[in-house]
Amino acid sequence: MTTINTKNTNPIFFITPNPNRAIGLERIIKNYYIICSQKSDIVDYFKKEKVSVLCLNDDKIKNSGKILADKEVIKYIKEKSGNKKANIITFKPSPMIQKICDENSFKYMGNDWKLNRKLEDKIEFVGITKKLKIPNAESRIIKVEENNLAEYSCRLKNKNKFIIQLPRGFSGKATFLIESKKDLNKILKKYKNRKIKISKYLEGKTWTINACVAKNKTLISQPIFQITGLTAYNKNKFGTCGNDYTYGKKLSNKEKEKIFSYTKKIGKYLKGLKYKGIFGLDFIVNSNNEVHLIEINPRLVASIPVFTKLQIQNKEMPFLLSHILKFTSSRQFLSEGDIGQCRLQIKVKPNNFNASQLIIRNIKSKPIKIIKNLKAGIYEIKKDKLIFKEEAYYVNRCLKENEFLIQCAAKNSVINSDIEYANIQVGYGIMKNEREFKCCFDKIIKTVLKSWSIERAERSLIEE
């Protein structure tokens, strides 16, 4: 893809604790800056490729708002912006980020935090799906109280599993499968008097869609298989462990058409709310080919870094660039050459993405410390040993079938419970079925997991 020249336009600053999250457009847009808090090999690789990056090297700063509040960061943004208005991007909006942007006359390239909170509320979302006549799990909204126990117990006597969800949470933390009175009592004890959604348990495969409310339409990706419920990599039963971009071929055309239709409805609804840019949707498709929309992520989604690189390699207009253009004037962007391949896609493309990513999180209930890590880059396995081949920070088409990319948190990093500390990316589909890896990838996982070591960290090292 042609580099987009923004030399004479307002600069863009991507703020994120983890520099891996900023991977995507760093070689496409000029006048583009990355600001992070966590040290990693990726920062060094950015610098080698002359990507502008500021790293605070402070493992205790865990969210974008606190990075943006740092005096050094404010000074850096103002110096690099000169007399131009700074554009700020983060994965998720917050009151703190909006306040800092307003105080410093920065432009935030994201939606209002109040709109984000309203949309991501799992209880509120039930009403949206009903209004748009999109299938969702049969559910009711109730308050957790002791006198509801009889009704819940009755469901358990009938041997019906059911789901309880809190209004908000990430990586499966707000979703609970109730199979016994023990499960139920945990909820009653911990969340008494909280409003919850109680819904029918849906069996099926989980799919995700990346989408973007762009200038004239909703851009929609092909369905991406969501690797879910592998507790060795995410302790939450409904937590995401990564994506297989090739497994979507297993969906029928009818199932895909339903997914696209529901996504278009949501996109139109969001546009009516003045929502702009990227959002994600999660679906469950059961054995009867029924498609249920279960969740919306009204923000940049975790798969965007990998997805953006795959789109660029596929000569597609990256959704992340469409997101940026939605918050600024497209006239600001001047091409250094022919930008025919940067045009917005008119139809949903086949994508033709041969890639997968496994995300490895801290599955312990306490923080951990990385004692021995792996250098980010391309590896292969020879005679059951991990062999480092070259420095790299994303998967490209040149990756051979026996090679894979590893990203890992830096040595001595402290990782909170449920937070990612490593991921593995390959140039092929890794799933044998929805719960099992292919043998070739299973071997990679076992070898990689032996190659780093962790220990329990003191809570005092963590900024909650």
191-232 residue pLDDT tens: 777 888 888 888 889 999 999 998 888 999 999 999 998 988
d(CA 27, CA 45): 12
Q: Fold identical between 4-111 and 138-200?
A: no
d(CA 142, CA 304): 35
d(CA 186, CA 70): 39
Q: Would you place residue 464 in the very low, low, confident or very high pLDDT band (cuts 50, 70, 90)?
A: very low
Strand 240-244 to strand 277-285: parallel, antiparallel, or no bridges (unpaired)? unpaired
Query: Which residues touch 15 (CB under 8 Å, ≥6 apart)?
Result: 35, 36, 64, 67, 68, 73, 88, 89, 90, 97
CATH of domain 4-111: 3.40.50
Helix (H) or strand (E) holding 283: strand 277-285
d(CA 76, CA 85): 13
Task: Give SS3 for 164.
Answer: strand
Asked if residues 408 and 452 have their Cβ atoms less than 8 Å apart, the reply is: yes
Helix (H) or strand (E) holding 32: strand 32-36
CATH of domain 138-200: 3.30.1490.20
Torsion of CA 45, 303, 437, 439, to 10 degrees: -30
Helix axes 181-190, 149-157, angle to 10 degrees: 160
Strand partners, 335: 4
Q: Is the model more confident about 156 or about 80?
A: 80
Please state the separation of Cα 23 from the chain's center in Å.
12
Q: One-letter amino acid identity for 177?
A: L
Phi, psi of 300 (to 5 degrees): -65, 140
pLDDT in tens, 316-325: 889 999 999 9
- Domain edges within the chain: 4-111, 138-200, 356-461
pLDDT in tens, 149-160: 666 666 666 667
pLDDT in tens, 97-144: 999 999 999 999 999 999 999 999 888 888 899 999 999 877 777 777
d(CA 343, CA 316): 8
Phi, psi of 257 (to 5 degrees): -60, -40
- pLDDT, residue 159, reads 63
- Using CB atoms within 10 Å of the CB of residue 279, give its burial: 0 to 12 exposed, 13 to 18 middle, 19+ buried: buried
The token pair at 242 is 């990564």
Answer whether residue 347 shows pLDDT above 50.
Answer: no
What separation in angstroms does the CA of 22 have from each of 39, 415, 449? 13, 19, 25
